[in-house]
Structure formats: C-alpha cells, structure tokens
Structure 1
Amino acid sequence: MEKAEISRKNPVDMYHPVGNYSHITKIPRNSELYVTSGQIGAYQNGDIPDSLDEQIKITFENIQSVLRSEELTSEHIIKVNIWATQKINWDNLYEEWEKLFGNDYPAMTIGYISELGLPEIKIEIEVWAAKV
C-alpha cells in the first residue's frame, strides 16, 4: 500500500507559477486539518514595527511559533494566503519564504487591500496545514 502524504505539483498543461508556489496541493484522506488566524509582524510584547520588511520577518517567525505549538513543520503547510496594504519587496519576502519552505512550495494567494485589523499592520499571512 502506498504511503499517504501531502503532494504538490504544477500541471504540465498550465503556465509555470509566477512566484514561488505550487498550483495544487493534495491532502490525503483522513488527514488532520489546521487553519491559523492571520499572523502579523508583532513582537511578543505586542509592538509592531513601522517597516514592512521587518513585519515580514517577524510574521514568518510567528508562523513558525504557531506551527511548533502543534508539532507541525513547513512540510505540513498546504496553503498560504498573504494580505498586504502596500507593495511587497519580494526579494525580502522570498528570503523568509525560502527559509521556511526551501524549494517545496505550498499553494499561495496574494492580495493587496486597503487596510488590515489595525492601521499599523502592513501584512497578514494565514496558513493552512495538514498532518497525515
């Protein structure tokens, strides 16, 4: 019997992803599903830096903390939704993205919106994960 695992792929009859993501992620039957709230770039004391690049760095640290709390790793992430209020420096975001994912990318959506929950929040990242 074949081992059940999360798989990611890009169909051959579609365009290559325009960023570091996969077009489709498949979750095996009977997996546990985890959905996070949107994570923001807030330090543990609640302070939020002014810089979007710094918020991105802290947001990824917070994502890793949430994952560790449930004994999850980036391999369990199946979908990432990114919401930003200003243009993202993709070199900076992908630096953090690569630290988390290496070259095994989940599905991703990015949206630019006018504001998030607090005026100082410039980026919010929601993660969906599954454990086989």
Structure 2
Amino acid sequence: MSIKRIHVGPRMSGIVINGSNVHLSGMTAARREGRSVAEQTGDILKRIDELLADAGTSKEHLVQVNIWLSDITTFDEMNSVWDKWVIPGHTPAGATVEARLALPDIKVEIQVLAALPS
C-alpha cells in the first residue's frame, strides 16, 4: 500500500493518504488573542475543507473526527458551528474531550479522517 504526504513539514505532514484513507493532522485556528470558540471552530473547518480538497476528497466523505476543547463547557458553542458545517446524513464517528492544548489562546483542535471517493 502506498503512502502519500501533502504539505510536508519538519515535524508533521498536514495530510497523509494511506490507501483510500485521508488523515489530517490536528488543526487549530490562526493564533489571535481573544477569539471565541465559535470563531476558532469556523476557521478550522474552513481549513479542513481546503485540505480535504487538496487531498481529492470533501467533508461528504468524513469517517471520523476527534475534537479537543480547552474547556468542555464550550461544547455547545463549538457544536453551533460544527452542526452548520457537517452534511446531514454524512456525519462521522467522533469524540470530543477536554484537554490542555499547546498554547493558552488555542481553544479548539480538530482532527479528521476522510475517505477518498470511489
């Protein structure tokens, strides 16, 4: 099975395609102090759309999502944006947990796995 890497960096690749699986690295929003969870979530989802397109797929083919929140009480705020973005009937398996993220101004991190269209 071949492995293809896109947006390769020194520490990680933005996208790794393994067979028909498209793995995205965990995405965070551009760092700007004082941004809400909803704003950060919207920025992340826009970037996920772009990366999935770079890989030749789309959110219609989501398989799994992992979401980390720095404060689980913002779960509903994050979901207010997520629910508008995800395609009904194409929702992935998923989990959302509270975690201390890399920097204090990062409130949301999202990682997805998608499939390549057949």
TM-score, structure 2 as length reference? 0.71
Read off the aligned partner of 1:103 and give its amino acid letter.
G
- Do residues 120 (structure 1) and 84 (structure 2) align? no
- Alignment partner for residue 78 of structure 1, among 58, 63, 70? 63
What is the distance in 1 between the residues matched to 2:62 and 2:21? 10
Gaps of 5+ in 2: 1-17
The amino acid of 1:109's aligned partner reads A
**1:48 aligned partner:** 32
RMSD: 2.1
Conservation of the 8 A alpha-carbon contact between 1:48 and 1:55: no
Contact 1:41 1:49 in 2 (8 A): no
What amino acid maps onto 2:32 in structure 1?
Answer: I
More helix by share: 2
What amino acid does structure 1 have at the position aligned with 2:103? L
Aligned residues: 98
**CA 1:34 to 1:88, structure 2 compared with 1: closer, same or farther past 3 Å?**
same
What per-residue deviation string (whole Å, max 9, x for no partner) do you get for residues 20-55 of structure 1?
xxxxxxxxxx9511111111122xxxx335211211
Distance 1:121 1:61, change over 3 A: same
**Cα distance in 2 for residues equivalent to 1:92 and 1:83:** 10
Runs (5+) with no aligned partner, structure 1: 1-29
Once the 2 structures are TM-superposed, how far is the Cα of residue 84 of structure 1 from its aligned partner? Answer: 0.5
Cα contact 2:69–2:107 (8 A) shared by 1: yes
Q: 1:35 aligns with which of 8, 23, 30?
A: 23
Which residue of 84, 94, 102 maps to 1:108? Answer: 94
1:60-94 deviation line (CA, Å, top 9, x unaligned): 11111111111211122100000001122525524
Query: Which has more radius of gyration?
Result: 1
Work out the percentage of aligned pairs sharing the same amino acid: 28
Within a 5 Å distance, the mapping from 1:56-71 to structure 2 comes to 56-71=41-56
* TM-score, structure 1 normalization: 0.64
Q: Do 1:41 and 1:121's aligned partners in 2 also have CA atoms closer than 8 Å?
A: yes
